[in-house]
Every structure is written in structure tokens, then in C-alpha cells.
Amino acid sequence: MAYEKFLSPGKIGNLTLKNRSIFPPMGSGYADADGYITQQLIDYHVRRVEGGCAMNIVEIAVVHPTSYNPHTPGIWKDEFLPGLTKLAQAIKGAGGVACIQLWHAGRQVSGKPRDGVPWAPSAIPCPMIGEMPHAMTIDEIQEVVEAYGLAAKRAKDAGFDAVELHGAHGYLIDGFLNAYTNTRTDEYGGSRENRARFGIEVIKSVRRHCGDDYPLMIRMVARENVENGVTLEDAIQNAKWFEEAGVDAVDISQGCYTVMDYTVPPYFYPQMVNAENAAAIKKHVSVPVIVAGRINTPEMAEEILQKGMADFISLGRVQLADPDFVMKVAEDRVHEIVHCISCDSGCVENMFMGNGASCIFTPATGHEAEYVMVAAEEPKKVLVIGGGPAGLEAARVAAERGHEVTLFEKSGELGGQFLIAGMAPHKDVFRQGAIQMGHRAMRSGVDVRLYTEATPDRIKAFAPDHIVLAAGSKPIQINVPGKENMPVYEARQLLAGLQRVKEKEVLVIGGGLTGLECAEVLTEQGKKVTVIDMLDKVGKDLEMYITGYTHRYLENHKIATYPNTKFVSLKEGAAVVEVDGETKEIPCEAIVVAVGSRPDNQLAEMVASTGVPFTKVGDADKPGKIIAAIWGGNKVGREL
């Protein structure tokens, strides 16, 4: 069997899991504002169970009111039990194993929603939350230790097969473990052993309330990657202490809020980014080891298991992109897997925006009851103009519903701007994502016609019942006084490899995502790059998990950036700009224009002139991020 180890049963405590897959406790935002379980959250979990996942770990459940966070499950009082019971029963009823993660955020949660302040080991604020926490007293520490045990008992009473403690990512248990947030001088601070005391007492509290045979796991960091944070050496010792205290498995991750991107590693991190860490810890414990972090294919999962680097694989974003990932592996349909590209757009960025966790490729994630594919009542002859992500998604969904779909793409490639984005350093997964969308559309029966431009005569001859206009947008052109003084390049052309910048000193006009990608490409080519933007911050439109990497890259490669800066003109050897109202000259030998895009209105007018009903989607309607393009295409495909 190709994936023999991945598909084999495995044990955690007295539990037997049918395979080695675990759906980890990623936040979803689908509990209600007060922390009660919703049907939406139940549907979200059941769908992953139906797709073959062995164990579902329900996301962070609040063990004490000082960690209350809106739309996060609560477990600190008995009133939550009916909803928790319904959720556990639904997961088990669908054939899964139900676990729930117990959580106190420490300093990494706002106290404002409950008119209070965060509780933490020491009065050191989290840079992301920005609120001064209350340093817990000994009595308060014991209160929270007891709260963990009582929460675990509620989980057991609700029917959960196991619990996991969140001891990672700077939350309360980890906040005690590391030296940069724990400066206490009592028995809970100072030495490594003292800093581990809180987590060990929490484990023992769970054992007191639930017994020695109730499966208990802990999520822990192998490395925090910040000064005075947990190191791998610390983590190995912590894991040994946690095992001695009574855990049945350790679940390995890394990072914290200070370096947020490590916690949900985006595309610029290596694949299997935590596997070596897990392997190092596994050498020192006898309990099973779970590992997460950019394990995007069944081949990677099998390799980790076969090499003995870990015993179970956390497949979080992977199962948001494709809830049937495990089933497709088991049924030898690996070629059909919708692969996660680690963009963090739909899963975490969308959640932090208050929209709930989902996936750019799979808008049904988190909306299982709404996004149901229904066969078209009256199949139509549909023409899709444009083979970018919006057009490909609209075409695929429409075809799967029974429409006769043909797609015209005037170039020789599918993927549009998504394909071009994959040309930037570290972003080949975006190119693969674009290719994947093309394959999915063709598998669904879409008649794809490359090198085919939509013209009035061609549309008339084709005689469609409906047109989906998804031909993207055109770059915004700016007035460039003095353009005779140096070459002027266009960002898309540069990223697509259609223009080659020969000059050594380059100014990029536009500090959004596209401009910064150009800056990275040019830097990798050995150019000296400067970036200007009219907004008050360069990279203002970047997703939060990408921002840290991007600004580190700018700093490490000494790329000068000028916010609040307006381009004025070019002169020999320099660009004239206006910074905060003052004129300045920036030396350069060429410029790259990356100031955004706008819909192609001429094309829309041509389509309208044919008299065929049409719908605009993606950048052809309104330029935006990739999630808006794909989700818009999905909506059109479902509503045709």
C-alpha cells in the first residue's frame, strides 16, 4: 500500500485511531459571541470526519473567564455542557474521535470584552494585544490550575474522548515556560523547572478530575524563535516533565504572537517545517508525538511516519482546502486532492477579520450547510471569458452543476494573475495552485480553448445563453513626466518574465503586494531597490501572517522604503518625489510602476453589445485579493 503507515491505526493512551490523521484545533470563529456551540461549528467538524479524519480536536475552549474571547468555545461553566455534548456526539456519530483543546490565553487576549485586564505570569504586555496584564497571585494561579481540571471533567462529561492542553504559542502555560514573559521570583519563576511548574500542575489537575486513564495531550512549542523564548533544549526537557506528569501525547509546533508567522507557517517556510523538531523531541519521550506545519501532501505525511519522526500528522489547513483529503488517500484518488498552498488567506486572515475560518479554494469550508452543490434546473450554454482564478472557478462549478461550459482564454496559459504571482520568490505554490485550478476545471468537463480571444463575431457564432466575464483587469497607467530620461517597466510584465530590468538601481512605485513582490524579484537579481508609496505604510494591504516576513526581508536586504511619498517626475539619474510635502530626489536608473489595476471597461462594453446576458466577476468586476476572485467565481457558478 502506497501510504501504509499513514493509513494504519495508531494509539494515544487507551484510544485507537483508525489512521494517523488529526484535525488540529485551529480557531474557526464559529462559536457564538458568548462561547456557545453553534450548528455551524458542528457541521464544520462533521464534514472533516466524513472525509476520513481519525481525530478531531475542537479549537481552543476557554477554561476561565479571564480568557474569554468572543466567538471562542467556552468550557468554564456547566452552562456550556449541552452544546459541547451535541458537538462531541456529532463527531463520534459520524465515525470520528472527539477531542477538545483547553485554553487560557494569558496576556495574549484582550480584557476589554469583559471589562477587565489579561492575566499573566508577569506584568509584561503582549505587543500584539497592547494591554498591560495583571501579574497573577499564587491564589489566582491555583484557581486557574483548578479551572483546567474542572474544564477537562466537563469535556469528559460531554462525551469527548480526550482533551488537549494548549501549552504553546505564548498562551498561559507557555507564558510561564518562557523567560521573556515570566520574570517571577517565586516558585513559578526563575529556573526552567520552576517555569514548568504551572503546566505540570495543570496536567496533574486534569488527572485528579478525570482519572489516569482519560487520554490527555499537550500542544507545545519546540522553539519560540524569540530572545529568551523556549529553545529546543528547553522543549525536550519540558516534554519529559510533561510525560512524567501524565500526558499521553505531545503535539509539536513553534512560534508565538511576537513571531506570528511561525505558528501557522506560510508558503515562504520550508515544507514539513516542524518535522525535525518533532523527531528531536521524540527521541526523549515514550508517548506518541504529533506534528503540524506545512505537511501538504500524503507523501510528506508518509515520509515523516516511515522515518519515525512522529506518530501522528496534524492536517489543519490541508483539511480546510480539501475535507476529503484522507478519504482520497485511502481510495487512491490522490490526484484529486485540492492542495493547500499555505497562503493563510482564507483560514486565519479571514477568521481574524471576523468572517470565520475557511479556504480560498473551498468557500464551503465553514459554510457546509449553505454551499451545497445543486444540479441546474435548466442547463445553459455558458461562455466564460478569461482563464484566471475567477473564471476557472465559475466554469468548474457551473460545469459540475450540469451546465455546458466553454472557456475562452486569449493567452496560452490558465491562471491569470494567480499564475504570475507564482513567479515571485518562494511562491511557486501559487503557480501550482493556478495549475491545479485549471486541472479541476477540465476534469469537471469545461471545454477550455486557449489562444482564443473573445470577439463579437466569435461570441455571436458561439451563441451562448449566458456569459461570465472574468477577463481580469488592466494595470493602472500613471503620468510619467520625464520618461525619456530612463526606462519605465510595468510590474505584471516584470513578474511574468516578459520584461527584464537591465539597470542596477531601481525605484518601485507602489508598496502594495505586487510592488513588494517586484522589489523581492529585483533584489534576488542583485539590484539596489527603493520602494515608495502614497499610503502611510508600505505593505499596508498585506495579510498579517505575511507582514512579518516581508518587513524582515526589506530590513535584511536594506531595501529603502518611503511611505507618504508621491511620485512627481523623472530626471537624468533620479526620480523626483514629494515626501510629506517636501521635494526629494531618489537616485535610480529605472522605475517599475505597481500602482494597482482597474477593470477593462472596453471589454465589458463589447460583451454588453452582443445582447447576451452576462455577469462580471473577479478583477473584471472589482480588482481585489485572490480570495475575492475565487469566491466570487464560486458564487456565480452556483447561481447560474
Q: Which of the residues are catalytic?
A: 171
- The dihedral built from the CA positions of residue 35, 36, 41 and 46, taken in this order, carries a sign that is positive
Tell me if 288 sits within 8 A of 249, measured CB to CB.
yes
- The C-alpha atoms of residue 387 and residue 414 are separated, in whole angstroms, by 5
32-to-28, 68, 69, 71, 80 alpha-carbon distances in Å: 11, 12, 10, 5, 11
**Cell representation of residue 66:** 479571564
Tell me if 52 sits within 8 A of 327, measured CB to CB.
yes
**Cell representation of residue 67:** 480568557
Residue of 82, 2, 109, 90 whose CA lies nearest to 42: 90
Tell me if 557 sits within 8 A of 437, measured CB to CB.
no
E strand map for 6-53: 10-12, 15-17, 21-23
Q: Which residues contact 116 (CB under 8 A, 6 or more apart)?
A: 66
Tell me if 564 sits within 8 A of 536, measured CB to CB.
yes
- The C-alpha atoms of residue 266 and residue 282 are separated, in whole angstroms, by 25
Residue of 543, 385, 512 whose CA lies nearest to 453: 385
Strand partners, 570: 575
Tell me if 181 sits within 8 A of 120, measured CB to CB.
yes
**Cell representation of residue 316:** 489543519
